[in-house]
Amino acid sequence: MKVDLKQRWPSLFPALLYSVSSTSARGQSLAKIIFKYLLYAIVLANLRGAPVVWHWRVFWPIIKYNLQFLAFRVPNACATLLNRGERARRIAGYIDKTSPVGVHPFDFEVIYRSRVSVDESDFNMHMSNSSYPKILDFTRTKMATHLFPHFLRAGGVVPIASTHFHFVREIPMLAKYEVRAGIGAWDEKWFYVVGRFVTKQKPKSHNAQQSSSQVPPLTKSESDLVAKLFDSSSEDEEDIILHTIAVARCCYKLGRITVPPSVLMATNGVCVYPHEVTMTELDPTFTGPLDGHSGFSVESPPHTWTHHARNLALDPRKLREFYKGAWRQDPTRWWDSAMGAGGSVEGKLKERLGICKQLFEGMDGVRQFGEPVIM
């Protein structure tokens, strides 16, 4: 039977048109779904770069510390409403527990753990150089809450003046890493924070570990200089890979007043080893031994904590006045005793301080360059 297409075309055209439009609609629907989920993926991948996220990551350690103190203080006030003496004893115990009492300045370390996100990576699929200062900000804030909790409670801030980075090897995208921060050195104004960006690798054979842990010979003189700021024993872990070293120069301010780092550390309980403590003749109330090498602790605190710093920490008003300049009127300078001024630790401090100053003198010298003349 012969079919005349010319006669049937008017009836076939609507069916063909419906089939094409239906296929097009399904394609558009599928494209919308793909676009929607792709948009979700992009937003999630760059979530750390969203507004307010940086502020939250920076200030979360301080918020957390204040919430913990509030969670202790409110129930304690209710439970000891009619017993002031018991309330004071509980607060003193909490202050002891949350203060770095007896911590040696060169033994202190805080660890900030994170993972390299997509927005923190560059086109080479590893952590971009611009992300390191941001991560160091988070680490310094966490370090401040562990090292200077009473200074933050008094309203102090921690501005950063400059930072030196020594890049050793890249950190791949999505890799977990740690920033291990400690005290490099200090003087009457500046406080130097040394941070090491490291990753942990899976156990390998001894030869493979040796080849992977070797530091590339990048500006060897600079690498050797920076390496002196921390004990080489801290890198003896077989599964640790060093990626970057950062040295930040900071100062500590209460309003417009700069507080010396030695005053800050001593008022929060930091102290050198017993055999390194000096100038004890200015504190005749101290009767404890000073020839031990085991270090101080909350159970065996330094005299600078029990006779000076603890009393200030228990009275926020006096502590704030002390930070704002009352320390200048104290003739005993007990904070120098806590930091071992004039003792055996001072030689190590001078060496480390000299290294830190060398790192920043180069950039300070560049500031003397004049602007180019436009022809």
Copy the structure tokens of residue 158: 């921690």
User: Could you read off the pLDDT of 257-286 as tens digits, one per residue?
Assistant: 999 999 999 999 999 998 888 876 556 566
Query: Once rounded to an integer, what is the mean pLDDT over residues 41-45?
Result: 73
Q: What is the largest CA-CA distance in the chain?
A: 124
Dihedral over Cα of 289, 295, 300, 301: its sign: positive
- Mean pLDDT of the chain, nearest integer: 80
CA-based torsion, 232, 237, 243, 245: positive or negative: negative
- The pLDDT score that the predictor gives to residue 281 is 59
| The CATH number fitting domain 107-252, selected from 1.20.140.10, 3.10.129.10, 3.40.50.2300, 3.40.1390.10 | 3.10.129.10
The span from the CA of 184 to the CA of 86, in Å, is 40
CA–CA separation, 335 and 291 (whole Å): 19
Q: Is the pLDDT of residue 374 over 70?
A: no
Q: What is the pLDDT of residue 239?
A: 79
CA distance 272 to 54: 35
- Give the number of other CB atoms < 10 A from CB of residue 237: 11
- Whole-number Å distance between alpha carbons of 60 and 229: 28
* List of residues 6+ apart from 183 with CB closer than 8 A: 105, 106, 108, 147, 191, 192, 193, 194
Give the pLDDT confidence score for residue 212 in this predicted structure: 44
Confidence of residue 21 (pLDDT cuts 50, 70, 90): low
Query: Whole-angstrom Cα distance, residue 219 to residue 349?
Result: 25
Model's pTM, two decimal places? 0.79
More confident: 101 or 72: 101
DSSP 240: E
Q: What is the mean pLDDT of residues 213-220?
A: 42
Q: Is the model's pLDDT at 185 over the cut of 50?
A: yes
The backbone torsions φ and ψ at residue 44, rounded to the nearest 5 degrees and listed phi first, read -65, -40
Dig out the tokens for 355 from the structure.
């290294």
Q: What is the DSSP annotation of 320-356?
A: HHHHTTGGGG-TT-HHHHHTTTTSTHHHHHHHHHHHH
DSSP 259: P
Judged by average pLDDT, the poorest of 12-26, 131-145, 153-167, 361-375 is 12-26
Report pLDDT digits (tens) over 133-170. Answer: 999 999 999 999 999 999 988 888 888 788 889 888 99
**Which stretches of the chain are assigned E, i.e. beta strand?**
109-115, 160-167, 176-186, 191-200, 240-250, 253-254, 257-258
Residue type, 76: N
Report the pLDDT value the prediction gives residue 218, as an integer from 0 to 100.
Answer: 39
Q: Where exactly are the structural domains of the chain?
A: 107-252, 257-364
**Averaged pLDDT, 73-80:** 76
Q: What is the DSSP string of 54-96?
A: HHHHHHHHHHHHHHHHHHHHHHHHHHTTT-HHHHHHHHHHHHH
